[in-house]
Amino acid sequence: MTSTPRRLLLVNGPNLNLLGVREPDIYGTETLADVEGLVERTAASRGFDVRSVQSNHEGVLIDAIHAAREDCAGIVINPAGLTHTSVSLADALKAVALPVAEVHISDLSSREGFRQVSYVRDVAVVHVIGEGISGYAHAVLRLIDVVTGQADG
């Protein structure tokens, strides 16, 4: 019997490398390093480790998602602008058949109309929207509950 890996993949899409300087009135002043540290600490509190990837290139993110099927139990993803445009990213998430948590720092429902579309929404089993970077911790805990069979309902 193969046991479930105790690792999550954290995926951050385009422009999230500029957290802390990019539109701080929307995204806050915390950096990508702050996000990654928060996710690592939160996952570690439940006995999981994290592999993180951020890229401004869709193919790099897709390759990382494909690789996750080898040694990850789930994926936490903030696809950023690719949320609204990338069928390929959604298809990659479907193809690996791992539980997915979709995270967004800002509340997409109160932003521009094009941000209302999420190709990831139907793939994800967890959605955390508009909680700032603390939403990443919330998403990690909920995803671990799904992975370990502790989720409600």
Judge whether 105 is annotated as a binding position. Answer: yes
Judge whether 106 is annotated as a binding position. Answer: yes
Tell me the C-alpha distance between 75 and 96, whole Å.
10
Q: Are 118 and 81 in contact (CB under 8 A)?
A: no
Judge whether 78 is annotated as a binding position. Answer: yes
Judge whether 115 is annotated as a binding position. Answer: yes
Q: Are 86 and 79 in contact (CB under 8 A)?
A: yes
138 is catalytic: no
Phi and psi of 48, rounded to 5°? -115, 150
Q: Are 50 and 40 in contact (CB under 8 A)?
A: yes
Selected catalytic residue, list 66, 104, 136, 138: 104
119 is catalytic: no
Label residue 144 left, alpha or beta by phi (over 0 means left) and psi (-120 to 50 means alpha).
alpha
Q: Are 32 and 62 in contact (CB under 8 A)?
A: no
Binding-site residues for substrate, in ranges, read: 78, 84, 91, 105-106, 115
Enzyme catalytic residues: 27, 104
What residue numbers does the annotated binding site cover? Answer: 78, 84, 91, 105-106, 115
